[in-house]
Chain A
Amino acid sequence: MKKTNKINSLFDLSILCPAIIDAFRKLDPRHQIRNPVMFVVFVGSILTTGLYLQALFGHGETAAGFILAVTLWLWFTLLFANFSEAMAEGRGKAQAASLRKTRKDTPARKLLKPSYGSSFITVSATSLRKQDVVLVEAGDMIPMDGEVVEGIASVDESAITGESAPVIRESGGDRSAVTGGTRVLSDWLVVRITANPGETFLDHMIAMVEGAKRQKTPNEIALTILLVVFTIIFLLVTATLLPFSIFSVGAAGHGEAISVTVLVALLVCLIPTTIGGLLPAIGIAGMDRMIQANVIATSGRAVEAAGDVDVLLLDKTGTITLGNRQAVAFFPANGINIEVLADAAQLSSLSDETPEGRSIVILAKQTYGIRERQIQGMEARFVPFTAQTKMSGVDLGGGRQIRKGAVEAIENYVKVHGGLFPEDLKSTIDTISKSGGTPLAVCENNLTLGVIQLKDIVKGGIKERFAELRRMGIKTVMITGDNPLTAASIAAEAGMDDFLAQATPEAKLRLIREMQDGGRLVAMTGDGTNDAPALAQADVAVAMHTGTQAAKEAGNMVDLDSNPTKLIEVVEIGKQLLMTRGSLTTFSIANDVSKYFAIIPAAFVGTYPALKALNIMHLATPQSAVLSAVIFNALIIVFLIPLSLFGVPYRPMPASRLLKNNLLVYGLGGLVAPFVGIKLIDMILVVLHLA
Chain B
Amino acid sequence: MNWNNLIQISFYLAALLLAVKPLGTFMASIYEEKPAGFNTWLGSLERCLYRVCGVRADVGMTWKEYAVALMLFNALGIVVVYIIQRFQGSLPLNPMELPAVAADSAFNTAVSFVSNTNWQGYGGESTMSYLTQMLALTVQNFVSAATGMAVLVALARGFIQKQTRALGNFWVDIVRTTLYILMPLSLILALLLVSQGVPQTFHSGAVATLVQPVKDGTGNTVTQQVIALGPAASQIAIKQLGTNGGGFFNANSAHPYENPTPLSNLLQMFSILLIPAALCYTFGYLVKDLRQGWALLAVILTIFVPCLLWSVQIEQRGNPLLTRLGIDQSATMFQSGGNMEGKEARFGIVSSSIWSVATAAASNGSVNSMHDSYMPLGGMIPMWLIQLGEVIFGGVGSGLYGLIAFVIVAVFIAGLMIGRTPEYLGKKIEAQEMKMSALIVLIPPLIILMLTALSVSVAVGKVGILNPGAHGFSEILYAFSSASGNNGSAFAGLSANTPFYNIALGLAMFFGRFWLIVPVLAIAGSLSSKKIVPVSPGTLPTHTPLFVFFLAIVVVVVGALTFFPALSLGPIVEHLMLNGAQ
Interface residues of A (CB under 8 A from B): 218-219, 221-223, 225-226, 228-229, 232-234, 236-248, 251-252, 270, 304, 307-308, 310, 470-475, 517-520, 574-579, 581-583, 585-586, 589-590, 592-593, 596, 600, 604, 608, 610-611, 613-614, 650, 654-656, 658-660, 662-663, 666-667
Contact = CB atoms under 8 A, between A and B. Distances in A.
A237 B536 contact: no
Given A237-B449, A251-B473, 5 more contacts: A218-B421, A236-B445, A308-B421, A660-B546, A663-B550
26 contacts: A223-B416, A229-B442, A232-B442, A236-B450, A237-B566, A243-B454, A244-B456, A246-B456, A248-B569, A270-B561, A308-B421, A474-B536, A519-B532, A578-B419, A582-B416, A582-B418, A585-B413, A600-B568, A604-B573, A608-B573, A610-B576, A610-B577, A611-B573, A654-B537, A655-B539, A655-B541
A522 to B, nearest CB: 12
B418 A655 contact: yes
Q: Which of B417, B445, B452, B550 neighbours the largest number of chain A CB atoms within 10 Å of its CB? A: B417
Interface stretch (B195-203, B244-252, B425-433): B425-433
B13 interface: no
A575 to B, nearest CB: 3
Contact of A229 (B414, B438, B546): B438
Nearest to B449: A240
Contacts of B560: 593
A218 B415 contact: no
Contacts of A575: 418-420
A310 B468 contact: no
Given A600-B568, A656-B544, A222 B434 contact: yes
Contact of A240 (B429, B452, B553): B452
A222 B565 contact: no
Given A520-B534, A600-B568, A243 B457 contact: yes
Contact of B418 (A310, A611, A659, A667): A659
B453 interface: yes
Chain A contact residues: helix, strand, loop or mixed: helix
A660 B553 CA distance: 13
Sort A-B residue pairs by CB-CB distance and give the 6 closest, nearest first.
A473-B538, A582-B416, A575-B419, A582-B417, A610-B576, A473-B536
A667 B557 CA distance: 11
A236 B418 contact: no
Nearest to B568: A600
Nearest to A592: B561
Contacts of B414: 582, 659
B54 interface: no
A222 B462 CA distance: 41
Interface string B370-389: 00000000000000000000
B472 interface: yes
Interface string B149-184: 000000000000000000000000000000000000
B313 interface: no
Nearest to A232: B442
A582 B565 CA distance: 27
Contacts of A232: 442, 446
B457 A613 contact: no
Most buried by A among B419, B472, B572: B419
Nearest to A239: B453
B416 A608 contact: no
Contacts of B413: 226, 582, 585-586
Given A608-B470, A663-B550, A225 B565 contact: no
Given A245-B569, A614-B568, A666-B417, A472 B538 contact: yes
A586 B417 contact: yes
Contacts of A583: 416-417
Contact of B435 (A225, A238, A475): A225
Interface string B445-473: 11001101110110000100000111011
A178 to B, nearest CB: 37
Contacts of B434: 222, 225-226
Interface string B312-329: 000000000000000000
Contacts of A658: 417-419
B580 interface: yes
Contact of A589 (B446, B557, B565, B569): B557
Contacts of B456: 243-244, 246-247
A216 to B, nearest CB: 10
Nearest to B576: A610
A221 B431 contact: yes
A656 B540 contact: yes
Nearest to B581: A610
B573 A655 contact: no
B441 interface: yes
A662 B413 CA distance: 11
Contact of B565 (A576, A577, A581, A596): A596
Contacts of A270: 561
B533 interface: yes
B562 interface: yes
Interface string B510-550: 00000000000000000000011110111111001011001
Nearest to A248: B569
Contact of A574 (B419, B433, B473): B419
Given A240-B452, A246-B457, A251 B565 contact: no
Given A223-B416, A579-B418, A233 B470 contact: no
B533 A576 contact: no
B534 A474 contact: no
Contacts of B473: 244, 247-248, 251
B426 A578 contact: no
Contact of B534 (A228, A518, A604): A518
B564 interface: yes
A597 B413 CA distance: 25
A247 B568 contact: no
Nearest to B553: A667
Contacts of A304: 421
Given A519-B534, A579-B418, A654-B537, A241 B438 contact: no
Given A222-B412, A659-B540, A247 B565 contact: no
Given A221-B431, A655-B538, A611 B417 contact: no
A226 B410 CA distance: 11
Given A218-B431, A251-B468, A613-B576, A596 B564 contact: yes
B444 to A, nearest CB: 10
A659 B431 contact: no
Contacts of B462: 247
A83 to B, nearest CB: 24
B552 interface: no
Given A243-B456, A244-B566, A655 B533 contact: no
Nearest to A245: B569
A515 B457 CA distance: 60
Q: Which of A219, A520, A577, A663 has the most CB of B within 10 A?
A: A219
A201 to B, nearest CB: 29
B409 interface: yes
Interface in B339-395: none
Contacts of B452: 240, 244
Contacts of B557: 589-590, 593
B565 A244 contact: yes
A590 B557 CA distance: 8
Nearest to B537: A473
B406 to A, nearest CB: 12
B573 A610 contact: yes
A600 B561 CA distance: 12
**Taking each of A579, A608, A611, A650, which has the highest tally of chain B beta carbons within 10 Å of its own beta carbon?**
A608
B420 A225 contact: no
A475 B566 CA distance: 51
Given A473-B538, A574-B419, A519 B533 contact: yes
A313 to B, nearest CB: 16
Nearest to A658: B418
Contact of A219 (B421, B438, B566): B421
A252 B544 contact: no
